[in-house]
């Protein structure tokens, strides 16, 4: 026998969305029922919790400046702190146009 689960989902703006899942394997529905009972939730609340935790946006690391990103990229390769840079030469005089 095929199972159907229909859920109404509230978003942050309190608008209500609904979803119907057809042709759900009875074993999956039973596992959802058991998991919901273990957590003290209804099947709808448990399914909502599973969807929200599975599909949440990944947390992004705080933005870093270009120097920090370049340094992090080359750190596993030994970094670039030991590079010997040649001495800078004085700037040449700008051309004159008189």
Which residue ranges make up each domain of the chain? 25-56
Phi, psi of 86 (to 5 degrees): -65, 150
Question: pLDDT digit string (tens) for 58-88?
Answer: 887 778 888 888 888 888 888 777 778 888 8
In the block, which residue shows the tokens 């978003």?
11
Alpha-carbon distance of 82 to 14, in angstroms, equals: 57
Question: pLDDT digit string (tens) for 20-63?
Answer: 888 989 999 999 999 999 999 999 999 999 999 998 888 877 78
How remote is the C-alpha of 86 from its chain's centroid? 43
Around 11, how many Cα atoms within 13 Å sit in the side-chain half-sphere? Answer: 7
pTM above 0.75, yes or no: no
């Amino acid at each position: 026998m095929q199972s159907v689960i229909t859920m109404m989902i509230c978003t942050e703006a309190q608008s209500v969305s609904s979803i119907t899942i057809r042709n759900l394997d009875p074993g999956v529905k039973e596992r959802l029922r058991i998991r919901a009972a273990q957590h003290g939730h209804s099947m709808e609340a448990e399914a909502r919790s599973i969807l929200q935790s599975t599909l949440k946006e990944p947390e992004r690391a705080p933005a870093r400046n270009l120097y920090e990103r370049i340094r992090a990229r080359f750190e596993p390769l030994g970094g670039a702190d030991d590079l010997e840079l040649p001495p800078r030469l004085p700037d040449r005089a700008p051309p004159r146009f008189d």
